[in-house]
Copies of this chain bind each other. A is one copy, B any other.
Amino acid sequence: MTNEISYLTFDVEKLTQFTIAIFEQMGVPAKDAALAADVLIKADLRGIDSHGVARLSGYVRLWQKGRINPTPNIRIVHETPTTATIDGDAGLGLVVAPFAMQGAMEKAEKYGSGWVAVKNSNHFGIAGYHSMMALQKDMIGLSMTNASPLVAPTFSTERMLGTNPICYAFPAGKYPPVVMDMATSSAANGKLEIAQRKDIEVPEGWIQDEYGNSTTDPNGLKKGGSLLPLGSDREHGSHKGFCLSSIVDILSSVLSGGSYGPWVPPFVSFLDPLPDQPGEGIGHFLGALRVDGFRPADEFKQHMDNWVSRFKSAQTVEGQDAVIIPGEPETAAELERNKSGIPLISVVVDDLKCLAAKMAITFPETK
């Protein structure tokens, strides 16, 4: 067994066309397939490899199980001038969430802010995609979603919450937008998967075993353990990570009528949703705030630039050039990969080739 990971690089456009073709083969209408592909490819471009085309076969398996509806009737089921609840009709979250964000932005356009809770949806890809939609209109974007239960609350041994991400996107002026896209667990599941593939120990504070003891076994989760909330343990504030994850769970699903806590339907198709669901599907929460609802947009952006430049020039620990501004690594990855292509690890390439064969779609050559 080798611990090395090898990469193959693909042309962005060709990988996008392949992804669209797979979604179309699932029966997703052309426009929705293009949007869903755009969300996945954006993740790969921004270096969030765990949420890009690596997940494509997962969506297909959910569709095969009848858990993803390729032609949903996405509709508003409750509304005020600045709030709404949307029923995603079991559609791809990759399609449902942008629809909801669009609705939030239209409300914000008229009234200053807009907030949409979503039920009956599925995995929505990277949170950043949806928040960043708001940037085009000089709005602050917010997106969050609950997810497959993998995280134990402080003092618990039970998987009650997902890695429930929160993303805020703030427009800036001469600097790229400041995008905070973060899981509310101590470690992202993607990082754990990398450690598993390399078969190396993980740091203390990422996962616990089935009894709630800290473990460095990268397979601890598979053996009945759970991920830990941001903060890792009580002494270091894991109750705050638990709070953050709970905020996401409540806004996404208790508010919308989705399923919450341990009932959130798992992304992996081999696990069925628990019986006696308290709601429908996965929930999201999306919001848009017009910057000029508070001060002129140019003024805000000038001060964002000042904020960024001051933080970039903060004194650093030895060996570190500068403080990393949230979103900076992702912006850099996007610039680079738009030029050089998208690198995929061989195990993902093999998985996609297998998927291509199964769905009778030609898999693109490497770049």
**A239 contacts B326, CB within 8 Å?**
yes
Report the separation of the CA atoms of residues A279 and B307 in the bound assembly, to the nearest whole angstrom.
Answer: 11
| C-alpha spacing A220/B123, complex, angstroms | 44
**Interface status of A180 (Cβ within 8 A of chain B):** yes
One of B211, B232, B304, B315 near A156 (C-beta < 8 A): B315
Q: Is the CB of B85 within 8 A of A156?
A: no
* Chain B residues, Cβ within 8 Å of A153: 311, 314, 323
**A364 contacts B by Cβ under 8 Å:** no
- Shortest Cβ distance from A233 into chain B, in angstroms? 9
Contact B81 A81 (CB under 8 A): yes
- CB of A260 within 8 A of CB of B154, answer no
| A34 CB-CB contact with B under 8 Å | no
Cα separation A78 to B295 with both chains bound (whole Å): 7
B residues near A278, Cβ cutoff 8 Å:
303, 306
Chain B: CB-nearest residue to A160? B314
Query: Would you call A250 and B317 a contact (CB within 8 A)?
Result: no
B115 touching A289, Cβ below 8 Å: yes
The yes or no answer to A16 lying at the interface (CB within 8 A) is: no
Asked if B243 and A326 make an inter-chain contact with CB atoms under 8 angstroms apart, the answer reads yes
Copies of this chain present: 2
Per-position 1/0 for A236-273, Cβ under 8 A of B: 11011111101101110011110011100000000000
Give every chain B residue within 8 A of A180 (Cβ-Cβ): 243-244, 246-247
Could you list 30 A-B pairs, sorted by A, with CB under 8 Å?
Answer: A78-B294, A83-B112, A83-B289, A83-B290, A113-B115, A140-B251, A155-B322, A156-B314, A156-B316, A158-B314, A160-B311, A170-B250, A178-B246, A178-B250, A182-B239, A182-B240, A182-B243, A184-B240, A206-B236, A211-B318, A212-B316, A212-B317, A212-B318, A230-B237, A230-B241, A232-B232, A239-B326, A255-B300, A257-B299, A261-B307
| 10 cross-chain pairs, A with B, having the tightest CB-CB distances, nearest first | A83-B293, A80-B112, A212-B317, A83-B112, A180-B243, A158-B315, A82-B112, A80-B293, A155-B320, A158-B314
Chain A contact residues, CB within 8 Å of chain B: 78-85, 110-113, 115, 117, 140, 152-158, 160, 168, 170, 178, 180, 182-187, 203, 205-206, 211-212, 230-232, 235-237, 239-244, 246-247, 249-251, 254-257, 260-262, 278-279, 289-291, 293-295, 299-300, 303-304, 306-307, 310-311, 314-318, 320, 322-324, 326
